[in-house]
Structure 1
């Protein structure tokens, strides 16, 4: 018999067999085409040209190129040439995989894997049933041993293989995949079941008093309710144009996973929609009960929703509009006041705060004492005779900013629980301003101390008092206003305790979203690093200058000078960078104690210096008697006086 006739008969038989399978099993769920690329020994390339539609797919090859040219995708468009490594052999195995449900195409060539189209959400139209057409003529270079799945189409070498596609609604294809999952145990069919969704439509009639929608999904040979949605009567009142509600249940996070290693979306995702309407701010929330695998107390969980109006293709889960109620380790209830996609976000690797209750108690006590101390220090500085001295104004500015910082920090927990997100936006901005203002005034202390030590050697213009005030209170307004205009930076911040990660401590501060974290890393941390480093350098400078003086031999004076200057220069904040390793708990307690009682320590320093000055009968003063309360103490002033006389 003629070999060419045999080849044609084989093609007819194979296609009849494939069509018989297709007819028996309805539509194809995917395509797998493999073959051997016969090519030359030179440089090889992939020529990719894909566009949307459902006209067909052409797989061709020659001496140097393997080409994938098709119009079968729903969203993916790609046109480029990819260079391959040189092959000493003149043939290379390859396989092309097409998944119409998620619009994904992958190519495997000689052990290299290429994703030509990345998976996306389920689309409206899918291009499937890629039936094989007439082969291109045989040639010396091309594709040999072309197969669909494991069925051989031709053993000869052809220039190209043509496949024609048929459009179909993806929901229909999904229903077929779900129906086949009951009789098939293949991994691919199970994955299709996870990708596809089940829909339930509810008609809200005039006497609608609420309705429970149950999601049935198979687990082995049984049916398991993975989610239950309760639609409240308020939903019918909010829907103006239609009475139909559609609940779509996904049994996989395949299409909804965020690109973060710290959090994970549950396999259960629910979409609730009312056609052509945006439903928000419901007076009675929708209750969604998720049944899931065990989530232990060490992993926090939060109900989240996805606002598709911003970017339907960008996964961005947010906690706005949803409240989380836990009902054990295997059940979570979400109460949400709007319609969109809903699921539960699980913290995989939490970094909870150890001993949060003790740290909160220390902070509250320290802030309360510091507020009272700052008030006393402000009154004391106002009553000083030499109030017009620059150092007094700097001390006063620091006392005012610390008063505001400790007061807001003391009240932040109460305001977060009582005022909610709206109040926390303003309180968080005010707290950030107070923190930056405190850092700025500490930096001015460093600058003024440097000025006082070296001004006798460098004759410079002395800044006016309003310059200090403008810098200390005006500069922090700029970054806070910029961040406020950006929006989404300030709000409720959750501090997770290690003993119960599901009941976090609420405070008003910068949020945990990407923009807020960037603001923290590019504004707060650089300012703090600069302050701590400059403060340490200035401590060394002052120590070197006053160490030769007789007063330094007095241990009490030496300790008070270094301790007081450490508070004034903000070096105690440097402990926050040492919160790691085996001593992290100890460092955290020390840092919390020193910084929360900072206002008290400053008042204590001024009071002790004043007592020492009175006991010494003015021996610590001289021509500038008030200098005992300045940045470097009386020893520096006596040193400067001696240098001036010389």
Structure 2
């Protein structure tokens, strides 16, 4: 009797603790992560998922990882997937995370930086499998899963062959109610939202139009987050006399891929007709998305295409037309049925004054190309009657700048006409021309230093300069082309309304391309600027005390002219921050697009100065005059 009296208060306290802390509630999701310790053999993934709510096994060995069990409401998946097709190889251990969303009946495996959807999101009708609890696990193993963790809490740091999770069936309505209670803001946006489903009957003989709205409201209570208009064309496309159409509204959290460049807005809509594929509608499906204000970044209506690879999320713009009604309202018109959402382009950031900057760049590149061609003709004529070693160096720089100006002038046209295929090669050629131009700028400065400090030592042979200026840039460009997925079509977006897009052939917006640019262009530019500053300082210190240079100041003009050549203008991009961002953009475009013109202007100015300097024995180039003055000064001393 005393034990019974004691047990009742303890039971009351236990129930109170459960209700107050949520320990008795169902787990809304499962996140199991670890490191797959495998061998050096080709890797594969074994999947065997079926409906029910019994258990889920996650095991791994030297060659394969297996995910099996009965946990889903609708999804069945049995497949053997070679992981090599996703770029996953066996050189080292592989990190992975398996995420189960019972509210969406969705199973996602993130392995080696790739996200594979093993079960597509859908809305369970009656019950779903939740409370996946870690049970009796496998034995210690040489190969398997080490450092297994559930929601960030490590289970063991040892390597186990198998992890076993058991679950229990829970009412979908009860689980949704729990989600709403755990997140008071779930009526607006929940991290683990319930999917809202609406079913309509379609009649092939008497097709009708109708509208469906999301139960989730925006900041205006009378305005739904998403409104869907189904045209009669959908009914005409159905095969059966009567078909059931399902419209399901999701939160985009479960669909969001880990990309810094793009982001989905909060709502995803799935529109399907049972067991039918609806495409090429004569009248599009209309969807109105009401969302938070998006003004700086362009939006695009996208659909989830699973034809390329059913395991990976591929959001495409094909088949949809985007209308940006207001910063808070986007209208999508799509000619097929699948999952739909609105994608925001976060990177690259839109450019202010894009039309003006593009016009300046085009004019500057055209003027620079014409100037470089004219200067090349002059240098070739002078080369016939003069053995001055500086002429071939000037000619090498002029040639590389002419190629750079021409390609940059034509890159927009080639991108629009040729597309991705042409842009791979044009982007590589443009990168080569830029690297070659920067290297020839360095050769110009180095050659001047050589003539001032190494007066009686012969300069390196011409073929050495050509090998460095034209041959060296081929090496990194060839490697990047062989690696692939570096060069391609790139879009520069404007902040205007509606936004304008400038398409060009260059490096893609990706981490691999950014890394490649840092190791090639940025490295060459850093070496060029740092060494150039040191060399110009040494040259100035050497010649500033000489009477010949004080009288005519030709050397000072030569140094000033060279300062335009050794890459300092390309460093302006590092000053791109507010409030001088717009000024830097215009200055950068002017100085670099007109660089070929400035080279010709410097050459003509020095040539005019030599003619004005009576009684001097100056040669045809500033570098040549430097050497002759040094020789004259040496003889006097």
Q: Could you state the TM-score of these two structures normalised by the residue count of structure 2?
A: 0.65
Please tell me whether Structure 1 or Structure 2 has the larger radius of gyration of its CA atoms. Answer: 1
- Deviates most, 320-329 or 592-601: 320-329
Q: Aligned partners of 2:528, 2:273: CA distance in 1, in Å?
A: 55
CA contact (8 A) 1:303 1:334 kept: yes
Aligned 8 A contact 2:217 2:225 in 1: no
Superposition pairs of residues 100-249 of structure 1, within 5 angstroms: 100-101=102-103, 122=121, 126-128=128-130, 165-167=167-169, 174=172, 191=190, 194-196=193-195, 198=197, 214=212, 216-219=214-217, 224=224, 226-228=226-228, 249=248
What is the Cα deviation at residue 406 of structure 1?
1.2
Mapping of residues 36-75 of structure 1, within 5 Å = 54-55=53-54
Alignment of 1:337-356 (within 5 A): 341-346=339-344, 351-356=349-354
What do residues 304-336 of structure 1 show as CA deviations (whole Å, max 9, x unaligned)?
A: 455667887776756678664433334334567
The aligned counterpart of 1:454 is 453
Retained in 1: the 8 A contact 2:103–2:176?
A: no
When residues 547 and 182 of structure 1 are mapped into structure 2, their CA distance, relative to the original with a 3 A threshold, is: closer
Contact residue 532 and residue 571 of structure 1 kept, 8 A: yes
Structure 1 partner of 2:394: 395
With over 3 angstroms needed to count, the CA separation of the structure-2 counterparts of 1:256 and 1:181, relative to structure 1, is closer
Match of 2:628 in 1: 637
Alpha-carbon deviation of 1:589?
2.8
Q: State which drifts further: 327-336 or 531-540.
A: 327-336
Contact conserved, 2:451 with 2:626, CA < 8 A, in 1?
no
Query: What residue is the counterpart of 2:470 in the other structure?
Result: 473
What's the offset of the Cα at 1:613?
Answer: 2.7
Instruction: Report the Cα distance in structure 2 between the residues aligned to 1:247 and 1:388, rounded to whole angstroms.
Output: 82
Cα 1:456/1:554, change in 2 over 3 Å? closer
The 8 Å contact of residues 549 and 639 in structure 1, kept in 2 or not, is answered as: no
Q: Number of paired residues? A: 524
| Counterparts of 1:335 and 1:482, CA distance in 2 | 43
After superposition, the Cα gap between the structure-2 partners of 1:164 and 1:531, relative to the gap in structure 1 and judged at 3 Å, is closer
Task: Name the counterpart of 1:30.
Answer: 26
Taking the TM superposition and a 5 Å limit, the aligned residue runs for 1:517-532 are 517-532=514-529
How far is the alpha carbon of 1:594 from its aligned partner? 1.6
Superposed, which structure 2 residues align to 1:475-554 within 5 Å?
A: 475-500=472-497, 502-554=499-551
Tell me the SS of whatever aligns to 2:253.
Answer: coil
Three-state SS of the structure 2 residue aligned to 1:488 is: coil
Please say which of residues 369-378 and 381-390 is displaced more in the overlay: 381-390
Check conservation: 1:493, 1:511, Cα contact below 8 A. Answer: yes
CA–CA distance in structure 2, aligned partners of residues 439 and 204 of structure 1: 68
Q: CA deviation at 1:189?
A: 7.9
Uncovered stretches (5+) of structure 2, i.e. residues with no partner:
19-23, 29-33, 35-48, 57-68, 76-99, 107-118, 134-164
Distance in 1 separating the partners of 2:432 and 2:250: 46
Instruction: Give the gaps of 5 or more residues in structure 1.
Output: 19-27, 33-47, 58-70, 76-97, 105-119, 132-162
1:610 corresponds, among 607, 610, 617, to 607
Quote the residue 2:560 is aligned against: 563
Alpha-carbon spacing, 1:184–1:619, altered in 2? closer, same or farther (3 Å): closer
Give the CA deviation at 1:529.
Answer: 1.5
- Alpha-carbon contact 1:246-1:272 (below 8 Å) kept: yes
Q: Distance in 2 between matches of 1:636 and 1:539?
A: 16
Structure 2 residue aligned with 1:426: 425
Post-superposition shift, 1:287? Answer: 5.7
Q: Separation in 2 of the partners of 1:291 and 1:403? A: 49
TM-score, normalization: structure 1?
Answer: 0.64
Q: Residue 408 of structure 1: SS of its match in structure 2?
A: helix
SS in 1 for 2:266: coil
- Cα 1:403–1:330 shift into 2, 3 Å: same
Whether the aligned pair in 1 keeps the contact of 2:297 and 2:350 (CA below 8 Å) is: no
RMSD over aligned Cα, in angstroms? 5.3
Question: In structure 2, do the counterparts of structure 1 residues 269 and 208 end up closer, same or farther at CA, with 3 Å as the change threshold?
Answer: farther
Cα deviations by residue, 1:525-582 (Å, 9 ceiling, x for unpaired): 2221111222222221221222223343357635521232112322322323223354
Q: Following TM superposition, by how much is the alpha carbon of 1:262 offset from its aligned partner in structure 2, in angstroms?
A: 7.5
> How far does residue 376 in structure 1 lie from its aligned partner after superposition?
0.2
Q: Name the residue aligned to 1:90.
A: none
CA distance in 2, matches of 1:425, 1:225: 41
